């Protein structure tokens, strides 16, 4: 490995106001923080985006107290810039072999847990390397916990994942250790008992794993649950749990949530659930007129993974394609009068039936 000086990383952040707290997003570019190179007999000739999920690159936390979920949106030149970055890590001559890199999955999720250090979350990168005359190589890395603390910010973490994958491929090339691709993936989705999903994308794609535990409902009127075994509950932080036909979302996966699972009341294009949310005094939500301690509706868009608090404006946006429902269901000041959430549930059920 030889060091190389690189330009300073720039990450663009869209402008925001408090009233736009639920729809802000980050634009992510190449980090340019890794200053290492490796000798190789190949170079990256092309990067093909073959992801099944392209709505965003993942969901992360922002806001005054990291209590707002935002989607990561890639710049238009994200992959072309990334190709230049990856080739910058490779020292090769004119006879180097062109390799096509196919991105099958790239997803980042960040837990909403204020007391944890920066970096708590999950990133998965799944790549295929195609070189002339050589078998396609499948390389995947999953980084979580301490592995994500390579640097603050999401762009450096993604760059780190790509660099690790490139290292793995280069080692296989150097040692001629090419491997056959796995043709099947073992995902248990229909087994009895609890099934777990570690992040939104796994839930959307049905990538669940069996888990030896049971749920216990907490006292009170809200649909809150925790794992019956307290040690299991404290050690595991799943995004979602499935118990038969019932679905439960971890409270810290949406704004204002905590360390329990909330039962989803409606499933389909939108997941709908009801919970009492709490924000710190300096929260962006409080500044936007959503007070702490309120019972609110939570809507999770299964096309994007974005969780949002139900407001008059959000429902109006959801009902845009359905003028008949907009006339049939009238809402006003939902946040002030949560009794309307029963009707919100009904209209979301209707929307899901039409999606």
DSSP letters, 250-316, are EGGGSTT--SSEEE-SB-SSEEEEEEEE---TT-HHHHTT--TTEEEEEEEETTT--EEE--HHHHH
Q: In whole angstroms, what separates CA 53 from the centre of its chain?
A: 11
Lookup result for tokens 């080739």? 87
Rg (CA), the chain: 22
Closest to 145 measured CA to CA, from 198, 102, 201? 198
User: How far is CA 341 from its chain centroid?
Assistant: 27
Number of Cβ within a 10 Å radius of residue 65: 17
What does the pLDDT read at residue 151? Answer: 46
Let me know how long the chain is: 355
Per-residue confidence (pLDDT) for residue 314, from 0 to 100: 95
- The confidence score (pLDDT) of residue 192 equals 66
> CB-based contacts of 137: which residues, under 8 Å, 6+ apart?
128, 129, 131, 169, 172, 178, 179, 181
CB 90, CB 37: distance < 8 Å: yes
Read off the DSSP letter of residue 10: -
Per-residue pLDDT of the chain (355 residues; tens, 9 = 90+): 443 433 323 333 333 333 344 555 666 665 667 888 999 999 999 999 999 999 999 888 776 666 678 888 888 888 998 999 999 999 999 999 999 999 999 998 876 554 444 446 778 999 999 999 999 999 999 887 666 654 456 777 788 899 999 999 999 999 888 877 665 454 444 556 899 998 899 999 998 999 998 999 999 889 999 999 988 888 888 899 999 999 999 988 888 777 899 999 999 999 999 999 887 777 777 767 777 888 999 999 999 999 999 999 999 999 999 999 999 999 999 999 999 999 999 999 999 999 8
d(CA 55, CA 51): 10
- 78-103 in b/e form (b: 16+ CB < 10 A) is bbebbbebbbbbbeeeeeeeebebbb
- Structure tokens, 114: 């204020």
Q: Which long-range contacts (CB under 8 A, 24 or more apart) does 78-81 make?
A: 78/28, 78/29, 78/30, 79/47, 79/49, 79/103, 80/47, 81/29, 81/30
Helix (H) or strand (E) run with residue 254 in it: none
| DSSP symbol at 252 | G
Cα–Cα distance, 278 to 293 (Å, whole number): 5
Place of tokens 């780190």: 160
CB 279 within 8 A of CB 290: yes
Tell me the whole-structure pTM to 2 decimals: 0.83
**DSSP code for 21:** T
Orientation of helix 154-175 relative to helix 78-88, angle to 10°: 50
């Amino acid at each position: 490995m030889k060091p190389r000086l690189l330009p300073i990383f720039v990450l663009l952040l869209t402008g925001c106001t408090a009233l736009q707290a639920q729809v802000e997003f980050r634009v992510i570019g190449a980090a340019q923080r890794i200053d290492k190179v490796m000798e190789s007999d190949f170079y990256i000739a092309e990067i093909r985006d073959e992801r099944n999920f392209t709505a965003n690159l993942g969901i992360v936390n922002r806001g005054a107290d990291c209590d707002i979920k935002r989607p990561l949106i890639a710049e238009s030149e994200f992959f072309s810039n990334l190709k230049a970055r990856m080739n910058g890590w490779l020292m090769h001559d004119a006879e180097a072999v062109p390799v096509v890199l196919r991105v099958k999955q790239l997803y980042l999720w960040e837990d909403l847990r204020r007391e944890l250090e920066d970096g708590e979350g999950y990133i998965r990168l799944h790549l295929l390397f195609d070189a002339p005359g050589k078998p396609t190589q499948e390389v995947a890395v999953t980084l979580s916990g301490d592995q994500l603390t390579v640097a603050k910010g999401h762009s450096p973490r993604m760059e780190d994942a790509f660099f690790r994958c490139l290292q793995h491929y280069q080692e296989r090339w150097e040692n001629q250790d090419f491997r056959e691709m796995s043709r099947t993936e073992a995902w248990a989705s229909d087994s009895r008992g609890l099934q777990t999903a570690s992040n939104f994308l796994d839930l959307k794609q049905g990538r669940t794993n069996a888990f030896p535990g049971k749920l216990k409902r907490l006292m009170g009127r809200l649909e809150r649950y925790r794992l019956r075994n307290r040690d299991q509950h404290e050690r595991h932080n799943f995004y979602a749990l499935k118990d038969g036909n019932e679905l439960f979302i971890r409270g810290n996966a949406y704004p204002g949530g905590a360390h329990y699972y909330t039962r989803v009341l409606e499933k389909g294009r939108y997941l709908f659930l009801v919970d009492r949310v709490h924000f710190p005094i300096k929260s962006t939500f409080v500044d936007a007129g959503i007070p702490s301690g309120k019972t609110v509706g939570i809507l999770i868009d299964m096309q994007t993974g974005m969780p949002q608090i139900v407001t008059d404006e959000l429902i109006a946006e959801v009902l845009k394609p359905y003028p008949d429902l907009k006339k049939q269901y009238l809402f006003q000041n939902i946040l002030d009068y949560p009794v309307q959430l029963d009707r919100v549930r009904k209209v979301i059920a209707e929307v899901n039936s039409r999606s």
